[in-house]
A and B are shown apart, each in its own frame.
Chain A
Amino acid sequence: MRTRVAVPLLAALALAAPAAPAFAAIPKTSLHAIEVQVMCVTCGIPLQVAESPAADQERQFIQALVNQGKTATQIKQALVADFGSAVLDLPPDKGFNVLFYILPIVFVLAGLAILTILLPRWRRNRRPPPPAGPTGGGVSQADAERLEQDLKRYDP
């Protein structure tokens, strides 16, 4: 009984195995490759740096087309069909727009520089003060009075 069930099952699997790759499309590009070439049209910034529900939707759409085996050109055409040519309008890297590319790097470097300078100072400031010595202010009123009386006793 077990053999009778197993044989057709194995035969079916053997037939299905070579057929499987025919259904799965081979990706011709990747989400990352497209992300760097298109805009998040809602955010107005390149998709690769965009974080928003609209950007996520755009990525999901691109990933679905990548999984279908579409080429980069076909995917960009599909995006243009939905969003218009603005989706391909990455800011030109000249003139005032060069700030789009430079500012993030400048801010990161400035932040690191500030942290490098300020962090050692903060750590120094946060160290606990050294314990009060014999002449420190940690003497109670009663001890101070007793000390005063003792000193008077030894005065000539």
Chain B
Amino acid sequence: MRLRPWPSIVVVLAAALIALLTYGLVTQGPSRALDSAIAKHVYLPAPDASRPLPVLDRVDATTASLHRWRGRIVVLNFWAQWCSTCIDEVPLIERAQRALVKSGEGTVVGVDYKDISSYARGFIAAHGLSYPNIRDGDGSFAAAYGTDALPETFVLDRHMRVVAISRGEVPSEAWLQGAIAFAKRV
């Protein structure tokens, strides 16, 4: 009987590749600590809330930390100029900002993620964003939120605790309004 080594070699190579990918996912995957906590109705403090980040727009300072908005509801929206889905959700985020400003209860804070700053400023101007935006050039602030894909949105209550998360595009206006309403009463 003739021995055929190739199928075995292919299987071994495939197994090695899967093992390598699994190792990569386990060791380098984004943190989901905030999501797990919310699932248990535990609301953790917003990570890196006191860390100053460069300001892009609408803050009269060169750097700002989230603590600047302590005592208010904050809708933290991670975006980038190169992210097409981020453009899709701009109108919804902008409407949320107008409602929050009108009620005086909070604000949207945009976080520009791993972007060219001049392009990011162009995005703000092109889409007429009326909320403050800060920059996370190296993505380390986003990493603290387990963010490695865009867009992602976190709703913080007045005590700077994360009470709702949308990984990916905000599912609907109702979801965002519900999350903001929840942040007001939690």
Contact = CB atoms under 8 A, between A and B. Distances in A.
Interface string A106-137: 00001000100100000000000000000000
B88 to A, nearest CB: 14
B82 A53 contact: yes
B59 interface: no
Contacts of A61: 116, 119
Dominant secondary structure at the B interface: loop
Contacts of B140: 84
B84 A53 contact: yes
Interface of B: 6, 10, 13, 20, 80-84, 114-117, 119, 137-140
Contacts of A83: 114, 137-138
Instruction: Give 6 closest A-B pairs by Cβ, nearest first.
Output: A84-B138, A53-B82, A57-B82, A54-B82, A42-B114, A61-B116
Interface in A73-96: 81-84, 86
A114 B119 CA distance: 45
Q: How large is the interface on A (under 10, 10 to 19, 20 to 34, 35 or more residues)?
A: 10 to 19
A41 interface: yes
A107 to B, nearest CB: 8
Contact of A82 (B6, B20, B82, B117): B117
A101 to B, nearest CB: 14
A117 B114 contact: no
Dominant secondary structure at the A interface: helix
Contacts of B20: 99
Interface in A39-86: 41-42, 52-54, 56-58, 61, 81-84, 86
Contacts of A110: 13
Given A53-B83, A53-B84, A84 B116 contact: no
Interface in A140-154: none
Contact of A57 (B13, B116, B137, B138): B116
